[in-house]
Amino acid sequence: MSGRTVTTPDGRTYAPGRAARELGLKRREFDLAVDLGRIRTVPDEGGGGRRVAHTEIERLRSQDGFPDALRARARSVSTGEAAGIMGVTGARFTRLARLGLLVPVAFYLNRYRTLVWLYLADEVAQFAADEQNAALVHGRSLPKELRARLASGLDLRARNWRGRHLGFLLRRAEDPWERAGALAALLDPVQIADVVKDPYERAHVHRFRPGPPTPGSPGSPAAQLVEELVTADDPDEIGWLRADLAQALDEARAHRPAPRPAPRAERRDDAGHTQHARRPDHTRHARHRPAARTLPAPAQLRPAASPAGGPGEHPGPPREPEHPRGLLGRLRRRSR
């Protein structure tokens, strides 16, 4: 999908909430139908997200069985409802889902912070109707090798959901940078930094990195659980995500380099004109500076006066020693 805004003959588009009402869908059904590609959206000219063109609303309304048929194709069910569609117990359905035979399409946390996986009702019905799955659905027990995998702790529900969720994110991406952001959404920051080493490119990737599908209060147990579900933890999964991110990054660089700050010596003003940074003028205001005091050379410095001479007093030139007075002085002068 290109980044150009798709126009309609009459120019009318609807925000997601309004479009859901026009189609007779609940908001969750509408969002899922968009993710599955069953409702086409167009970019918002004002940059406010995706919208639905009036012509798309009319196209969907003209289909046979509207709106029940559209709603059925976007219907998601919990484990208990899915087990009812298949005619098996909830435990049997959970084992099949853990083995990766049925892929979750969404999840939510209930009021007890319990993870509830959701599945497409259409896919559950198709799996049950397939004769090749008859032994898995109606057999007394699962094959021995499958039971051994379950006993080892295998649970592919989160990984399979991440793969499906990534497909939804890539469907929305309109250029290589958005595709790189979609891939980065499933990696932790350490893995991203190891692949995207340039800090400006990394910041640009994070700009297009979608948030979790069901965000909670930052730091809350619910938010931490969602973050764990969204972040890849299997070595094989991390490996192919890193490889795909590196390839998407190469394509993004060729498409449009990541923005960087202009060099300090050359910046652009608001009108787009180049401004060269001025070098500091050391002669500026020199006339207004006070004259610097000239200190005497080291050879001209005099030793400080002795404590007896008082503070700051320097001795003068050497004087002739005074002769002692009195009789002793006269005797000394005669003896010379």
**Calpha distance 299→36 (Å, rounded):** 91
Share of the chain above pLDDT 90, in %: 64
| 6: pLDDT strictly greater than 80 | no
**Paired strand residues for 107:** 117
Question: Phi and psi at residue 236, in whole multiples of 5°?
Answer: -65, -40
Residue 169 has pLDDT above 80, yes or no: yes
Query: Which has the minimum average pLDDT: 33-37, 176-180, 305-309?
Result: 305-309
95 and 115: one domain? yes
* Same domain? 244 vs 162: yes
Q: Are residues 184 and 138 in the same domain?
A: no
Confidence of residue 288 (pLDDT cuts 50, 70, 90): very low
Total domain count, the chain: 3
How far apart (Å, rounded) are the C-alpha atoms in residues 134 and 127? 9
Buried b (16+ CB within 10 A) or exposed e, 172-204: bbebbbbbbbbbbbbbeeebbeebbeeeebbeb
At 194 the pLDDT is 97
For residue 266, what pLDDT is reported?
53
Say whether both 169 and 180 belong to one domain: yes
Q: Is 217 a domain residue?
A: yes
Note whether 265 and 276 are within 8 A (CB): yes
For residue 145, tell me if it sits in a domain.
Answer: yes
Q: Is residue 330 situated within a structural domain? A: no
Q: What's the pLDDT score for residue 285?
A: 47
Indicate the pLDDT class of residue 217, thresholds 50, 70 and 90.
confident
- Domain-embedded: residue 319: no
In a domain, 322, yes or no: no
Does position 229 have pLDDT exceeding 70, yes or no? Answer: yes
pLDDT at residue number 268: 55
As a whole number of angstroms, the distance between CA 140 and CA 330 comes to 144
Mean pLDDT of 56-79: 95
d(CA 49, CA 60): 21
Amino acid letter, residue 154: L
pLDDT band at residue 10, thresholds of 50, 70 and 90? low
**Can you give the pLDDT at residue 97?**
98
Please indicate, yes or no, whether residues 34 and 67 belong to a single structural domain of this protein.
Answer: yes
Residue type, 159: R
Q: Which of 220, 255, 290 is the last residue of a domain?
A: 255
Q: How far apart are CA 232 and CA 243, in angstroms?
A: 14
Residue 92 inside a domain? The answer is yes
User: Is the predicted pLDDT of residue 307 greater than 50, yes or no?
Assistant: no
- pLDDT per position as a tens digit, 149-158: 999 999 999 9
Mean pLDDT of 121-137: 96
Going by pLDDT thresholds of 50, 70 and 90, the confidence category of residue 223 is confident
User: Which of 230, 255, 280 lies at the terminal end of a domain, its last residue?
Assistant: 255
- For residue 297, being part of any structural domain is answered with no
Is the per-residue pLDDT at 2 higher than 70? no
Cα–Cα distance measured from residue 70 to residue 92, given in angstroms and rounded to the nearest whole number: 29
pLDDT given for residue 211 in this prediction: 87
Q: Are residues 100 and 130 in the same domain?
A: yes
Band the pLDDT of 210: cuts 50, 70, 90: very high
pLDDT band at 265 (very low <50, low <70, confident <90, very high): low
pLDDT of residue 219: 78
Contact assessment for residue 157 and residue 104, using Cβ atoms and an 8 Å cutoff: yes
Q: List the domain range (segments joined by +) for residue 208.
A: 158-255
| Predicted pLDDT at 320 | 47
Q: Which of residues 155, 185, 213 is at a domain's end?
A: 155
What is the predicted pLDDT for the residue at 270? 52
* 128/66 same-domain check: no
Answer whether residue 51 shows pLDDT above 60. yes
309-330: pLDDT as tens digits: 444 444 444 454 455 555 445 5
Angle between helices 199-207 and 235-255 (to 10 degrees): 100
Q: Which residue has the tokens 């929305």?
A: 172
pLDDT value of residue 269: 56
In a domain, 117, yes or no: yes
In the predicted model, is pLDDT for residue 134 greater than 90? yes
Give the pLDDT score at 11.
Answer: 76
Are 56 and 138 found together in one domain?
no
Is 188 a residue whose pLDDT tops 60? yes
For residue 35, pLDDT over 80 is answered with yes
On average, the pLDDT of the chain sits at: 82
